Amino acid sequence: MRSDTPIYVHRLLTTVAGRTFLSFLLLYLLLIQLCRHAFYRDPTSAFFDPSRAYEHVYSMQRQRQATDFIQAANSSVKKNPLGGPQTTMCLGIATVKRPDEQYVRPAFGSLLEGLAEDERKHIHTVVLIGHTDPQQHPIYHETWLENTSDKVLTYDTSNTTQFDLLVKWEKDKDYRRKAIYDYIYLLETCIQSGAAWITMVEDDTVAVKGWYPRAMAALDVADSKSTDWLYLRLFFTEKFFGWNTEFWPTYLLSSVTIVAAVAVLLLALRRLRYHTIISDGVILTACFVYTPAFILLYFMAGKLSMHPLPPGVHEMPNYGCCAQGMVFPSPVAARVVDKLRQKEVGFVDMILEAWANEEKLTRFAVVPSLLQHIGGHSSKGDDFAPAQPMSVAETIFNFDFELYEQQGEHVIHPTING
């Protein structure tokens, strides 16, 4: 070693503590790079990369399949198989004209494409054209709508008082009132079908192929877990599942416990054998530099990366946004109608969550999600967030959904199929 080498460099290269620190530093930098590669899709992670994470992979494939289905139904003179008298599920979709792309085409197509004929017979589909003048919606006279829907719903013009209100809400862009009315209208129509399950899906989503048997299996699980539950989510966005601040005492206690455990372990090792190597300085550095650094990296990696949601049906009482797809037991759907009528104005998901919290109603979600949100502009007047490259609607996204993969006739997911 040259005589003019700085003393701190000399100590780093020649002492045990210095070499240990250099080894730690190299390992830490390597782990950071690995985290950037592994956790870029986790919205709860410090390594989240929106430019890559929001890529539509499987959902784009699903849109193509759905579009092919709709085009075939649009050119067909014969109606596709419709729901039969043995209806098990009523599927309701309210749709309004979008400024550019009409998402309802791939949305509805993805729900029907891939269904076995027997499955289709158990589903009663209702499409609400959410305009007081239905001619405003481009799909209203398209052949596929008549060919694939059990019922195309428009507003009742004979009820002039209510119809005049709808006209006013449209003119004033009072989305918070009109959306509640549309939801009630669809729910009531579906309840009248006699179906055991009422599924409400927004018109800017796509469904995984095989969603229906997966949903029915999930409903059986939900029923086995609770006798009084509100809904089963078919969609949720993971971005609210991070290290939420209300749990900071738990995180702090766990971190302190880990640091204490490291100190106890090092003191025990020094006492038993390594008293010449494990000095007070080594213990202090390990407890107040190395261990906190690794704990910090653990939190930076993201909660969903460290504790991913396992596949299956889970209670989801918190953070389960939004209302893109929900299944209600028919008796509960009638109670939902009553609750929404009481409120009259607001957002469906927020009203339901407040009600569930008040009455301690169980809420379930199926993991991985069976729906993906593809809308770039909200029908409720949502716009781009300030100084953000994406609209708020575009960030309502399920990242796990994009891991579905079509293999032959089967759709697999790594969390289920390994």
Rounded Cα gap, residues 338 and 188, in angstroms: 10
User: Roughly what angle, to the nearest 10 degrees, separates helices 248-272 and 291-301?
Assistant: 140
User: What is the full per-residue pLDDT of the chain (418 aa) written as tens digits?
Assistant: 455 556 656 565 666 667 788 889 999 999 999 999 999 999 999 999 999 999 999 999 999 999 999 999 988 766 666 777 778 999 999 999 998 889 999 999 999 999 999 999 999 999 999 999 999 999 999 999 999 999 999 999 999 999 999 999 999 999 999 999 999 999 999 999 999 999 999 999 999 999 999 999 999 999 999 988 999 999 999 999 999 888 999 999 999 999 999 999 999 988 888 777 888 888 999 999 999 999 999 999 999 999 999 999 999 998 888 999 999 999 999 999 999 999 989 999 999 999 999 999 999 999 999 999 998 766 655 555 555 678 888 899 999 999 999 887 789 898 886 5
> How many Cβ atoms sit within 10 Å of the Cβ of residue 23?
10
pTM of the model: 0.89
Helix (H, G, I), strand (E, B) or coil at 138: coil
The closest of 72, 94, 112, 98 to 207, measured between CA atoms, is 112
Query: What per-residue confidence (pLDDT) applies to 82?
Result: 73
User: Residue 15 region, left (φ>0) first, then alpha (ψ -120 to 50), else beta?
Assistant: beta
Integer angstrom CA distances of residue 136 from 131, 139, 205, 287, 376: 7, 9, 21, 67, 20
The closest of 418, 409, 188 to 311, measured between CA atoms, is 418
Match 């596709």 to its residue by tokens.
Answer: 80
Q: Does residue 88 contact residue 212 with C-beta atoms inside 8 Å?
A: no
Rounded Cα gap, residues 220 and 239, in angstroms: 28
Query: What per-residue confidence (pLDDT) applies to 389?
Result: 73
Q: How many residues does the chain have?
A: 418
